[in-house]
Structure 1
């Protein structure tokens, strides 16, 4: 299993929480798609950086499915998981889950996949550890 410099297994998941405020929404009071993508990319970046313990960049976003609208006033949890690793690339699946703060009801709303590339000190693609079996 990959490990950080202290010998601890490298995490393959990252979770972020964001609150949907009026400046994040469109004229219908739902989260802008671009804002959702930004939060997803941020979560993918953190998951890949923690896993590889290297600088990473986004190479591609794939198949983003907006299933349900996320409304102003909801809490959004972004869950990013490393699901596949190549030589220098990591595929990160990200899901946005909307939560009503008063009722506690949670619903998966958006899912997508991001390809992140690890870079060396000169900004060139560099190897990352294999996923544990």
Structure 2
């Protein structure tokens, strides 16, 4: 059985793919805002958990902008990136991009910012690893 090796032990980005099915939509045939928020929170949770290698919880979601509707049948890519790390907090920017599977056309539809907090086994905030310093090429 093949083993997979991690190239980056602390990834700062996660991507999720979802299809918009009828049960994800409102009466207009567009994605419910609450469903988009759930997918965004899940992507933020995944990237923060993988980055901190600890239990994390959502402390805050802020400035979520729904700029374009997402239609039933669209593919949705949710992209979460850690952009700042505090003592126990990780700030995550999340973009939601829709894609028409037939044409391949993609649009940035929703953007938001989430704050995730790393916890120890007793549920207390714990130190999050600092972001790596970008090196000049």
Q: Shorter-chain TM-score category?
A: over 0.9
CA pair 87-33 structure 1, distance change in 2 beyond 3 A? same
Residue 123 in 1 paired to residue 123 in 2? Answer: yes
Partner residue in 2 for 1:3? none
Aligned-partner Cα distance in 1 for 2:25–2:10: 35
Q: CA deviation at 1:12?
A: 0.1
Q: CA deviation at 1:74?
A: 0.1
Q: CA deviation at 1:9?
A: 3.6
Unaligned runs of 5+ in 1: 1-5
Residue 83 in 1 paired to residue 83 in 2? Answer: yes
**RMSD, aligned α-carbons:** 1.2
Partner residue in 2 for 1:54? 54
Q: CA deviation at 1:109?
A: 0.2
CA pair 68-8 structure 1, distance change in 2 beyond 3 A? closer
Number of residue-to-residue matches in the alignment? 128
CA pair 74-92 structure 1, distance change in 2 beyond 3 A? same
CA pair 19-127 structure 1, distance change in 2 beyond 3 A? same
Residue 37 in 1 paired to residue 37 in 2? Answer: yes
Unaligned runs of 5+ in 2: 1-5
1:58-113 per-position Cα deviation (integer Å, ceiling 9, x unaligned) = 00000000000000000000000000000000000000000000011000000000
**Could you state the TM-score of these two structures normalised by the residue count of structure 1?**
0.94
Specify the SS of the correspondent of 1:131. coil
Partner residue in 1 for 2:109? 109
